[in-house]
Amino acid sequence: MIGFLADDLSGTGGIQYASIDLLRMLHYVLKQDVVTVARGTSEIPGSVFLIKKKNTFLFAINAIKFFLSVNYESLIISDSVFTVVALVLKILKPHKSLILWEHLDYRNRSSQIRNISRLIAPMVFQHIVCITNEQLQYWKRAHCIKVATLHNVPNPIRLPQMKRALSKSETLHRRQKRILIIGNNGFVKGLDILTQAWVMSPRDSWSLCLCGFNHRDPSFDPLCLNNQQSKMELVTLSQDELRVMIEQSEFVINFSRTEVLPLTFWEAYLAGTTYISGFMYTPSLAHQVLSRRAGMVLTHYSPNNLDMLFSDIITLRVAPSSSASRDLHLERLGEAIQNNDFVASQWMNILT
């Protein structure tokens, strides 16, 4: 049996979706029995043990008690902030395999607990799984003690919605003059910068759609929302509705401050929608965007030079996916299937 420890899987963020996709892969593809411990969950396979403790320390104590009571072979921990859980279990169950699955960018040092946890993680875990090579190189540089084995394994890519899009070929050619910003944390996504740039930029008949954000998010001025003059709107959509909107929009833009490789990149890439990454991009994201000819990386804009950002994007429209064909979508679907086969084989190697 495999144990899986996460914070809260009931949200709509990229880490939550990636975790659920991995759990489904472990259960359905690799045929593993999985027990998940979390504060909240969506629909996931296997057994679930909920710990409804808001305090991280109390949550960790309860997680330790639970895993001491069950017989697992490997334990996957999806956030380095819970390294203390792994440390206690390593002492009390020394022959079990402990795996850290690290999503957050190494530049994200907002939590002192996480900073300390990363220092001791290589001595606690047998395996540390990074989703990009950039992250893996960080772990190599930052830690002299190489007890843990490092792995570079991308996240699985969700396919059912992509197959649905291909069955409705009319959505592949009907694009609206709309730019999407997708997420649930305005500061991480650079929402404050992008909304300021939108207000300053000439934009004709284009609209900016903010998908998934809370209307109380401090990163933007609520007076601009749902304002006919600003042509900026805030919408709440299901995952299926969001994918349809991505398929029918010209651009998805992300000026992320801390993400490694946002899930929104793959959603836009598979839908044939141009992806725009800003000046705060990570090298991993820029490499994916450029090497796959998936859109543009804007490096010549700064927070003090944004007045023409959106008008330049709209004017250029050099996106290779603007006239996305069915063949392009089939090619990218094939890439996603190959990616998932690789991910499954890598996780099987780690778990055995």
Q: Would you give the distance in Å from CA 235 to the centre of its chain?
A: 20
Give CATH for domain 160-333.
3.40.50.2000
Q: pLDDT digit string (tens) for 76-89?
A: 999 888 999 999 99
Cβ–Cβ < 8 Å for 285, 262: yes
- Comparing 19 with 202, which gets the higher pLDDT? 19
Q: pLDDT digit string (tens) for 63-122?
A: 999 999 999 999 999 988 899 999 999 999 999 999 999 887 776 666 788 888 888 898
* CA–CA dist 193, 110 (Å, integer): 20
* CA–CA dist 151, 131 (Å, integer): 8
Domains 2-156 and 160-333 share a fold: yes
Length of the chain: 352
Q: pLDDT digit string (tens) for 139-161?
A: 888 776 565 689 999 898 877 55
- Comparing 234 with 27, which gets the higher pLDDT? 27
- Comparing 40 with 128, which gets the higher pLDDT? 128
H or E, element range at 23: helix 14-24
**pLDDT at residue 91, as a whole number:** 95
The three-point CA angle 146-282-258 to 5° equals 85
- Comparing 297 with 35, which gets the higher pLDDT? 35
Is the CA virtual torsion 114, 267, 343, 18 positive or negative?
positive
Q: Where exactly are the structural domains of the chain? A: 2-156, 160-333
CATH 3.40.50.2000 for domain 2-156, yes or no, is yes
For residue 200, give both structure tokens: 């300053």
Q: How far is CA 315 from CA 39, 58, 204, 303, in A?
A: 46, 53, 11, 20
Mean pLDDT of the chain: 81
**pLDDT at residue 316, as a whole number:** 64
pTM of the model: 0.80
Residue 320 pLDDT exceeds 50: no
Q: pLDDT digit string (tens) for 220-273?
A: 666 566 555 678 888 877 777 788 888 888 899 988 877 778 888 888 888 888
Strand order in the sheet with 249-254: 232-235, 207-211, 176-182, 249-254, 274-277, 295-297
